[in-house]
Structure 1
Amino acid sequence: MSTIPLDYETLRLIWWLLLGILLIGFAVMGGRDLGVGALLPFAARTDAERRVLLNVIGPTWEGNQVWLILGGGAIFAAFPPLYAVSFSGFYLAMIVILLALILRPVGFKFRGKIEDRRWRTAWDWGLFIGGFVPALIMGVAVGNVLLGAPFYLDDTMRIFYTGNFFQLLTPFALLAGLVSLGMIVTQGAAVIVGRTEGPTAERARLYGTWSGLATMALFALGGVWVASMDGHVITSVIDPHAPINPLGKTVELARGGWLSNFGAYPWMIAAPALGLAGLAIAVLGLRTRRGLLALAGSSAGIIGIVSTAGLSLFPFLLPSSTVPQAGLTLWDASSSHLTLFVMLLMTVFFLPIIVLYTGWVFRVMRGTVSSDSLGKNPNAY
């Protein structure tokens, strides 16, 4: 592999960063749509108001799912053991998320087929579920990663999952789920305030303000909780160039272990600071009816919160609560040197195209959406 210009350690770090970028991309971009969906029955009271919200996110929500697909693909190709454990162990949770997400395209297409209040209200609640459930369960999943997933590996590297769906619903995991839901709702409220007007924007402003404040409090509470819980710490020597072998290390549990990275690298404190500061800016933007400021703040808050979780876990990708030694890390759960390099070349080519196209679409679709504008558009939902 001497012909590859980047060494194995560097490629592993690059793909850890890229995975984080893809997950943040979905949280920021997909969070716009999930947040608007979660607010749909509450911020909009009449059929006309709800149609406005559907058309705020209708032209772009499908494109925003690209970040979720890329994230799943990156896990599959760059970290196969992580894909095998998480997608099989959390199978039921992922099915629930997928079923909720399926309600969105179906709701968009079928809601306007019949001019009946009960029919449309039923689909409105379906769209609410499509936004609320994924935002909550994805946060619960992150909380369970910090707690450790119940799995172990035998001597032949076969994976055995020892938990079930309901064991995932622990108090700390539900707290993480509420943080996720709160930041997504704040993001959705910022979008509504920035692109609508009248009573709908005012209601979204109120809900977004409260969700932003609640998320700040819950995020801070989560930090205190993490400081008092056991974290996984690798106590053996790490060889970042070695072939994958999750069982080739020793791991111990230490009180507050998930905060050890912040002590070793003080610059990492910028992540939780960004999370809190971004949410504060979002609340300020909502209070002053400045949608662009609110959206920038809520997006920064999401980046900070997701980055905090990733930096806390580093180098772990998925710790094991059953056998800590079996926890998957960046150094022992990645694909081969050549695979990571080839994937990086493809990413360097395609990712800028996706970013440029996304920016172009949002530029074309910019502006305020109102009932009057919908009346002039025969393709509106």
Structure 2
Amino acid sequence: MSEHIPRQEGAAVLVGVDFGLPHFDNELEELGLLAQTGGLTPVARLSCKRKAPDAALFVGSGKADEIRELAELHRASEVIFDQALSPAQQRNLERAIGIAVYDRTFLILEIFAQRARSHEGKLQVELARLQYLSTRLVRRWSHLERQRGGIGTRGGPGETQIELDRRMIGEAIKRTRERLAKVQRQRGTQRRRRERRDTFNISLVGYTNAGKSSLFNAMVKARAYAADQLFATLDTTTRHLYLGEGAGQASISDTVGFIRELPHGLVDAFKATLQEAVDADLLLHVVDASNPHHPEQMAEVQNVLREIGADGIPQLLVFNKLDVLQPEQRPLRLADSIEVDGAQVERIFLSARSGEGLPALREELSQRAQADNEAMPLADAAPLHGAVH
């Protein structure tokens, strides 16, 4: 029935299921931004409530029928779920709805595949995608070449083909891991050279689209790509930052943005990129002060930092986008401190775009780098920052 309806390529129905968790995005705003970043066009949105996922269809048969009718009405070519689907649920939903069904994890992987620029970044994305696809072999092999919206071919291979695909993916994972390990060794050598120069290392971390790259550009005039979109930057960029006499020169790195429910495969695969954060002396945790959900976003960043072993590194909170706050939203003071995970953390409000607050940030960084330099003779006996693994 639905096969005869002409579909609009890249048109997507967005679906979210509220299981009573505090971070549920009823408007599916973030999923919509992810879809647009991935080259899709959201044409309809549907939210529903359930106590628990349906084992077969995630949403149940009645809601699956409703999604199918909505997709037919809007001539959508695919359905995107805001939660992770099991391979069986994804397969069953495609049969019930009649078009491609993807989940949040696949969408993020697709965006990373489109955006990765460096050799290491591409290898990391390839490894994460291969690991994801290895659990979804039925009618999924063509997605290794997939660049944007659309399901590709809909015919399924036989058992022999599935076994062949499984072996091919296993070999591809092994090859990619070996190539990635080589690149990581090279990155480790470069990092050790920096460490021998006793450089004060700063890493920008934060939720995607918080303005990290804009702040990075404002501080070092680096021309790193910055845009008002999710995952504008994937590959770590490192530059030198002169902080004045006494403080000297620091090393500052812009890292990939974090996001709610970042696929575990990506956390694992991107540990080399995020290693810049793990090895930092100071984390600049950049927050979008204009986003009403910034407390939840900060919590997600803290979760990822714990996952990669960087939660013990000193932080300085940078509340960015001061220029877009309404007058009644502006803080009384541009520098204060707030509690994060039971500890008081200093906070600076600024605008990377207008430059307001940047001198205060530079002064704070200069003081911290100078204190670090003065403590260097004691470093061998008593390191300032505990080793993070």
The two structures have a TM-score, normalised by structure 2, of: 0.28
Structure 1 or 2: larger strand share?
A: 2
Q: Which has the higher contact order (CA 8 A, sep 6+)?
A: 1
